[in-house]
DNA sequence: CAGCTATGAACAAACGTTTGCGTTACTTTT
DNA sequence: AAAAGTAACGCAAACGTTTGTTCATAGCTG
């Protein structure tokens, strides 16, 4: 019979014949309201199923309690795990999450950034698209003093907050693990040289070799564009190397899959593979890497969201002067197969 | 130097020494504003980087242009594909998406529903959690006349809008395909009997047999709880059947994986498998099903979002009388391996 | 009993925008 | 030349809530 508009504070005031301000204060347990009045107000509010109109409140103090999240692809398990972390923190701290995928399209990303601004989000969490090469679209947020935190895929510009994983230590551990296992010739199928991620892997590899007093042979590191063809090419190079590797570290699980399948098709069963954990599906495979480097996307998401919300609630940059930038690196970690 | 608060319509009015209403109308291309004034306003607005405060607008007409989406797990590729469809439609129709995962926890789902209500979303899109058994938490939305559309996992209650897929036709096609291929004994590893999805698969199977004038043998349909152990048990039953199947239809890709792996470990290579497409990863596997039933999650998401936004913009239930409920069934379809 | 302090509650402004209506100052019609 | 029309703009209310300030009444002190 009365399925219409939500109850407002005004109606409560009218029914109880008191002023709106009294109702407001009563509901917020203000000290200057008498106990009896408080009770009466609360009782009626409960009966009428009163819920404060968040839109009005948000409008009033110019806060939306919404954080925007822009990431490339939810179907990549790294990101779907990350968003879970972001969400958990956001809900815990009473924020909600406005989500959007760029699908690795720079133009779409720009549009989404604009939309987020229009929606007046309190802060923005971004993992930039692969194709993004300019970054002016984020400037507006800086101008408006709305915090932006980048995670995982961070743009190569200064003065930004970010959370990323350092794959160097994980790679170090991986190579070290293989060396301890007796391997002496370890190949690596790395990603494109343009990615920071490739660089970090390379550094980890080199440092592990040095730490074990072994010579670093650059010809055992082959780059690839992550496609199957490119992976097979890299495998050919490695398998025809004068020092044929007995173990191979691959850029990610897809590359590992391609490489292992190719090796198997050649009848090679004795190569140990180590990869980077992006896919839970790896658990279901016939042949799996013997170890993988975990990047903790859930943890990264949590951390990034925490930093963002901290920034939102930070007293506005007082002197307008230099601001501290959060640069958090989540260490990666080697996980042996069969261990959760 | 001026990195502070966003520009408002008031400031523009003050600078131009005209009234706010004129500025508002000028920006909205109202007919009763002179061309010169319009130009002056728009020019200044652009210079000051003016953006209308959506919070104020939303508050004014009591609409948020936000739709809430609650689904179980983004890491399931079905849902990450569905959310892409939802997003695409939402953005196209100028809505934004407030996302939340229930992680298949009924309690969390209740909390989220409450939160969505608090946030005053204009509509709600829900795929219910596995563990949800009561549905009163959705009643409030009905009371407040806020449309709710369920998709894929729909609750067993009356008078709701929903979009779901019918797996019967897809299963029919799958079994039919196998029969045409010459198979005469087709096993099925089905899911728990409690799921509608299991029932639909069974119906499709039966109808395909009948359509081909073959007798339906219930003992060739084995239920399982989707775990690896359970799948292996089912396989054992099938393989020891007096009529050993030459082809098997499995409930989903995981079950297919388990079953194929087990078959291979027994040295059986000659069984044709057909599955239901949930996982893109299947493309990377060594042994894949020869066909799979596609459920078009992206399409389902789009459809559901479209219906929801239509409902939002529909003239309010005029007479308060009977309302039409959208019950849309997206047909599933058999996809042969190697075809996209 | 005049003057004071608590106590409890009302008033009114503010947030940014839209919009119905009113008010000018022209221009056109008769 | 008076009436009517029209173009261009201003005024003010409204949306729901919070909050600084003011106001009234009671109880108290001296």
Chain A 24-83, CB < 7 Å to strand D: 24-25, 27-28, 50, 52-53, 56-57, 59-61
Chain B 129-158, CB < 7 Å to strand C: none
Average pLDDT in chain B: 89
Q: Taking CB atoms and an 8 Å cutoff, what residues of chain A touch B93?
A: none
Distance CA B257, CA B280 (A): 13
Instruction: Name residue B161's beta-bridge partners.
Output: B149
Helix (H) or strand (E) holding A211, with range, is: helix A196-211
- Cα B278 → chain centroid: 13
The pLDDT-based confidence of B2 (bands split at 50, 70, 90) is very low
The pLDDT-based confidence of A336 (bands split at 50, 70, 90) is confident
Nucleotide with the nearest C1' to A50 CA: D16
* Short-list A7, A8, A34, A6, CA closest to A22: A34
pLDDT on residue A156? 84
pLDDT on residue A270? 87
Average pLDDT in chain A: 88
- Residue B3 — φ and ψ, nearest 5°? -90, 25
Distance CA B84, CA B97 (A): 11
DSSP A329: E
Helix (H) or strand (E) holding A20, with range, is: helix A20-27
Distance CA B227, CA B254 (A): 8
The reply to whether B21 Cβ lies less than 7 angstroms from strand C is: yes
Q: What does the block give as tokens for B113?
A: 């529903």
The pLDDT-based confidence of A120 (bands split at 50, 70, 90) is confident
Q: What is the pLDDT of residues A236-271, one digit of tens each?
A: 999 999 999 999 999 988 889 889 989 988 988 889
Contact B153, B72 (CB under 8 A): yes
Chain A 180-239, CB < 7 Å to strand D: none
Distance CA B74, CA A78 (A): 11
Q: What is the pLDDT of residues B136-175, one digit of tens each?
A: 999 888 888 889 999 998 888 889 999 998 889 999 999 9
Please identify among residues 206-265 of chain B the ones whose CB lies closer than 8 Å to any CB of chain A.
Answer: 254, 257-258, 261, 264
Q: Taking CB atoms and an 8 Å cutoff, what residues of chain A touch B285?
A: 285
DSSP A6: P
Q: Taking CB atoms and an 8 Å cutoff, what residues of chain B touch A117?
A: 51
CA of A24, C1' of C9: distance in angstroms: 12
For residue B278, pLDDT over 80 is answered with no
Q: Taking CB atoms and an 8 Å cutoff, what residues of chain B touch A115?
A: 91, 96
How much of chain B exceeds pLDDT 70, in percent? 93
The pLDDT-based confidence of A126 (bands split at 50, 70, 90) is very high
For A171, residues 6+ apart whose C-beta sits below 8 A from its C-beta are A200, A201, A203, A204, A205, A208, A249, A293, A332
For B160, residues 6+ apart whose C-beta sits below 8 A from its C-beta are B148, B150, B154, B325
Please identify among residues 135-174 of chain B the ones whose CB lies closer than 8 Å to any CB of chain A.
Answer: 140, 142-145
DSSP A332: P
pLDDT on residue B323? 66
The reply to whether A27 Cβ lies less than 7 angstroms from strand C is: no
The reply to whether B5 Cβ lies less than 7 angstroms from strand C is: yes
Q: Does the beta-carbon distance from B59 to A64 stay under 8 Å?
A: no
Nearest to B51 among A100, A118, A281 (CB): A118
For residue B192, pLDDT over 50 is answered with yes
A338: region left, alpha or beta (phi > 0 left; psi from -120 to 50 alpha): left
- Residue B240 — φ and ψ, nearest 5°? -95, 5
Higher pLDDT, B3 or A227: A227
Instruction: Name residue B327's beta-bridge partners.
Output: B162
Q: How far is CA B5 from CA A159, B10, B14, B51, in A?
A: 21, 13, 16, 11
Quote the strand ranges of A61-160, DSSP E: 66-71, 96-101, 123-126, 148-151
For residue B280, pLDDT over 70 is answered with no
The reply to whether B335 Cβ lies less than 7 angstroms from strand D is: no
Longest dimension (CA), chain B: 92
Contact A144, A309 (CB under 8 A): no
Nearest to B74 among A83, A96, A264 (CB): A83
CA of A22, C1' of D20: distance in angstroms: 14
Higher pLDDT, B215 or B322: B215
pTM comes to 0.84
Q: What is the pLDDT of residues A54-64, one digit of tens each?
A: 889 999 988 88
B21: region left, alpha or beta (phi > 0 left; psi from -120 to 50 alpha): alpha
Distance CA B5, CA A338 (A): 54
For residue A145, pLDDT over 90 is answered with no
Q: What does the block give as tokens for B92?
A: 């196209």
Nearest to A118 among B49, B54, B261 (CB): B54
Q: Taking CB atoms and an 8 Å cutoff, what residues of chain A touch B144?
A: 3, 6
Q: What does the block give as tokens for A71?
A: 């990431």
Q: Does the beta-carbon distance from B66 to A98 stay under 8 Å?
A: yes
Nearest to A97 among B99, B261, B279 (CB): B99
Q: Sign of the CA dihedral B19, B24, B26, B30?
A: negative
The reply to whether B16 Cβ lies less than 7 angstroms from strand D is: no
For residue A339, pLDDT over 80 is answered with no
Q: Does the beta-carbon distance from A74 to B80 stay under 8 Å?
A: yes
How crowded is the C-beta side of B45, counted as CA atoms within 13 Å?
21
């Amino acid at each position: 019979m009365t399925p219409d508009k939500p109850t407002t504070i005004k109606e409560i005031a009218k029914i109880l014949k008191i002023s709106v301000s009294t109702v407001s204060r009563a509901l917020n347990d203000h000290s200057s309201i008498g106990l009896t009045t408080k009770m009466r107000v609360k009782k009626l509010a409960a009966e009428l199923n009163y819920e404060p109109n968040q839109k009005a409140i948000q409008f009033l103090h110019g806060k939306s309690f919404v954080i925007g999240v822009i990431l490339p692809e939810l179907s990549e398990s790294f990101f779907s795990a990350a968003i879970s972390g972001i969400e958990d923190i956001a809900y815990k701290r009473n924020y909600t999450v406005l989500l959007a995928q760029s699908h690795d399209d720079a133009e779409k990303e720009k549009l989404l950034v604009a939309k987020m601004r229009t929606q007046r989000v309190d802060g923005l969490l971004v993992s930039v698209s692969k194709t993004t090469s300019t970054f002016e679209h984020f400037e507006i947020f800086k101008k408006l003093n709305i915090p932006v935190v980048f995670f995982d895929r961070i743009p190569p510009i200064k003065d930004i907050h970010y959370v990323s994983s350092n794959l160097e230590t994980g790679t170090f551990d991986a190579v070290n693990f293989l060396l301890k296992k007796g391997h002496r010739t370890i190949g690596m199928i790395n990603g494109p040289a343009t990615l920071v991620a490739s660089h970090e892997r390379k550094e980890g590899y080199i440092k592990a070799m040095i730490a074990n007093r072994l010579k670093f042979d650059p010809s055992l590191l082959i780059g690839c564009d992550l496609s199957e063809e490119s992976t097979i090419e890299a495998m050919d190079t490695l398998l025809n190397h004068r020092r044929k590797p007995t173990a191979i570290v691959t850029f990610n699980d897809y590359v590992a899959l391609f490489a292992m399948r190719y090796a198997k098709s050649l009848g090679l069963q004795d190569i140990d593979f180590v990869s980077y954990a992006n896919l839970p599906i790896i658990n279901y495979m016939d042949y799996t890497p013997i170890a993988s480097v975990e990047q903790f996307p859930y943890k990264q998401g949590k951390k990034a969201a925490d930093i963002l919300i901290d920034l939102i609630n930070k007293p506005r940059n007082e002197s307008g002067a230099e601001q501290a930038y959060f640069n958090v690196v989540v260490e990666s970690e080697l996980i042996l197969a069969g261990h959760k």
